[in-house]
Amino acid sequence: MTTVRVAPYGSWVSPITADLIASAAIRLVDAQSDGQDIYWSESRPTEGGRNVIVQRGPDGSTIDLIAPPFNARTRVHEYGGAAWLVAGGIVYFSNFADQRLYRLAPGEAPRPLTPPVDLRYADMIPDRARNRLIGVREDHTDPTRQAVNTLVSLPLDGAETGGQVLVGGNDFYSSPRLSPDGARLAWLTWNHPNMPWDGAELWVGDIGADGSIAAARRVAGGPDESIFQPEWSPDGVLYYVSDRSDWWNLYRLQGQRAEAVCPLAAEFGRPQWGLGMRTYGFASARQIVCSYTQHGSWTLAELDTASGALTPYDLPYSDIDVLHVGAGQALFEGASPQQPAAIIRMDTATRQCETLRRANDTDIDPAYISTPQALEFPTENGLTAHAYFYRPANRDFVAPAEENPPLLVMTHGGPTGAASAGFSLHIQFWTSRGFAVLNVNYGGSTGYGRAYRRRLNGQWGVVDVDDAVNGARFLVARGDVDGARLAIEGGSAGGYTTLAALTFRRVFHAGASYYGVSDLESLATDTHKFESRYLDSMIGPYPQRRDLYMQRSPIHSVEQINCPLILFQGLEDKVVPPDQSERIYQAVRAKGLPVAYVAYPGEQHGFRRAENIRHSYSSQIYFFGRVFGFQPAGPIEPVAIDNSARL
């Protein structure tokens, strides 16, 4: 029988250690089937974040298809996605180190299909009738100009060609889809300053005898309508997701008319930060297996294309991602508040589910797991915002009477992203040690309709910060957390919200920024193509509204920061370059506040190496322990803190 000990919040001993998170957890990236075999890819921290393609045979046995140093990851849009596919037992993948496309046939070594020049490939599909692949190419061969994105075809005869351009002229392309008869190609495209969730267009072209595209025409979308995931039904009807009703709903093209298939106050789409996202697929011409989110929770369902009837499956998952449908099965990544993400196979006839691969094979006693509470709280201008609230949970400990827990507010990246209710070792690391966690879906987050998503337009650094602050205040007012021990953390865009909250508000008492933006002007002038005009909508056009960029940049108001800060940064980050963190660190240190800067050589935007993941957790809880006056449990490696005498 377990003896419950009394110990201060933050000091509890937890089985969810930094070592466990770094070594036991993998990131499941994609899943698809080919014949009787199932394939998925997983990013392994213990292998430096290498993306490995795994094959599962009909007997349940699995093998790794690519050995080191190969790494199936593309840098198209820098964020990548859709880096590989399988067709006829042959795997085609983009290799991270050289960004060349490789062909891997059974029993052979990977063989390059593209030349050793700065061309990047993603989102490929097979065109079997013409013995080629069709996909997205990003051309970086001319350093004097911005990268050029096109749709290209690549022959499968082994010739190392860069590809034949099929469609070009716009800033971005994605989602090429062949009609079942191979006669037409559909695709998405968008132009600066839009991001794909702001406005995108769906085009269709006829494929000529020579394989070229003719009679290309726009069939849906525009600068104020976001289109997501076009798909052809088995009987040749073009389906897609559009937010024209304020919600990302399913439509189909009937002649020249868009027909809503299942109008619903729910989202059937996601923000296309990565390529290859899928939320639905065809089990037959009449049956769609789809996923959608309402009130922050995802559901898998069957949709009758004739009647429009939507029938949810009774499944235990609150998160559904990377959905692929075909051959009598649906493959998806599923997670629940208590169970980590896993690759799931569902038989579409029997609805029976089988777990093929878990992101974390370690079984954790549910008594150490905090279950999220969906929270809607008041914020500025009479509006409400959304979040998930987690209370401390650890079967072995309770806090001293009358002590409220410290609160860690988490701000997701994007900023057009979303916090989910799915199991997170990251969150449970903190709650099992005695922290309360508020994972905020501030205005601008996806999953709550287009109007909610657009709250951040022109208001980045205002609305997101207000919602993070008001969420913390709401919990303090309810008596759930200690108002004198409020911390905030975030990565990338969430790191910017963290830095802005510490600079422009006096609510939090400590912060942790992971590769966060501190200088909006530098971000506007020194970032990759995909995001180079993103701030036009989030802040204002640059340089016309340079005043706003200066006004909302923490680096230009560092004298207003009034609490300790720890910063983490990958030194190979091309999205948010290291100088963003280095400059804020130097300025905070010069001000005399306690500050730590932890830089990791070789890491890019997001940490993938086990040793760095482990170190960042250890460093952050050590830092918070010094700030809030508790001693973290276990062997914790100290991190150097400048101006530590002020703690």
DSSP state at residue 317: -
The four Cα atoms 244, 245, 249, 254 give a dihedral, to 10 degrees, of -60
The four Cα atoms 137, 90, 330, 302 give a dihedral, to 10 degrees, of 50
Q: In angstroms, what CA-CA distances link 479 with 411, 430, 431, 506, 509?
A: 22, 19, 17, 19, 18
Q: In angstroms, what CA-CA distances link 166 with 117, 152, 184, 214, 279?
A: 20, 5, 12, 9, 27
* pLDDT per residue as tens digits for the range 335-362: 999 988 999 999 999 999 999 999 888 8
The number of beta carbons lying within 10 Å of the beta carbon of residue 483 is 15
3-class secondary structure for 141-199?
CCCCCCCEEEEEEEECCCCCCCCEEEECCCCEEEEEEECCCCCEEEEEEECCCCCCCCC
User: Of 53, 113, 138, whose CA–CA distance to 89 is shortest?
Assistant: 53
What span, in angstroms and rounded, lies between the C-alpha atoms of 495 and 567?
9
Sign of the CA dihedral with 191 first, then 196, 199, and 200 last = positive
SS3 content of the chain, % helix, strand, coil (to 5): 20, 35, 45
DSSP state at residue 78: T
Query: Helix crossing, 493-504 with 463-478: angle to 10°?
Result: 70
pLDDT for the residue numbered 160: 82
3-class secondary structure for 415-449?
CCCCCCCCCCHHHHHHHCCCCEEEEEECCCCCCCC
What span, in angstroms and rounded, lies between the C-alpha atoms of 456 and 328?
41
What span, in angstroms and rounded, lies between the C-alpha atoms of 15 and 394?
9
Contacts of 476-479 with CB under 8 Å at 24 or more apart are 476/407, 479/404
Question: For 539, what's the count of Cα atoms within 13 Å in the CB-facing half-sphere?
Answer: 26
What span, in angstroms and rounded, lies between the C-alpha atoms of 249 and 496?
31
Instruction: Collapse the DSSP code of 314 into the 3-class scheme (helix H, G, I; strand E, B; otherwise coil) and give the result.
Output: coil
Question: For 530, what's the count of Cα atoms within 13 Å in the CB-facing half-sphere?
Answer: 20
Question: For 557, what's the count of Cα atoms within 13 Å in the CB-facing half-sphere?
Answer: 18
Question: For 315, what's the count of Cα atoms within 13 Å in the CB-facing half-sphere?
Answer: 31
pLDDT for the residue numbered 24: 67
- Extract the residue ranges of the chain whose pLDDT is less than 50: none
pLDDT for the residue numbered 1: 56
Phi first, then psi: give them for residue 348, nearest 5 degrees.
Answer: -70, -15
* pLDDT per residue as tens digits for the range 62-89: 999 999 999 999 999 999 999 999 999 9
Contacts of 377-380 with CB under 8 Å at 24 or more apart are 377/470, 377/471, 377/474, 378/470, 378/474, 379/443, 379/466, 379/467, 379/470, 379/471, 380/463, 380/466, 380/470
What span, in angstroms and rounded, lies between the C-alpha atoms of 164 and 170?
16
What span, in angstroms and rounded, lies between the C-alpha atoms of 531 and 578?
17
Task: Please name every residue paired with 221 in a beta bridge, in sequence order, or none if there are none.
Answer: 201
DSSP state at residue 134: E
What span, in angstroms and rounded, lies between the C-alpha atoms of 266 and 247?
6
Give the tokens for residue 208.
């000529």
The amino acid present at 221, given as its one-letter code, is G
pLDDT for the residue numbered 3: 87
pLDDT for the residue numbered 388: 97
Question: Cα 119 to the chain's mean position, in Å?
Answer: 24
Task: Please name every residue paired with 232 in a beta bridge, in sequence order, or none if there are none.
Answer: 238
**Count of all residues that appear for the chain in the document:** 647
Where do the DSSP E strands lie in 336-485?
342-347, 353-358, 373-378, 384-390, 397-398, 407-411, 436-441
293 near 283, Cβ under 8 Å?
no
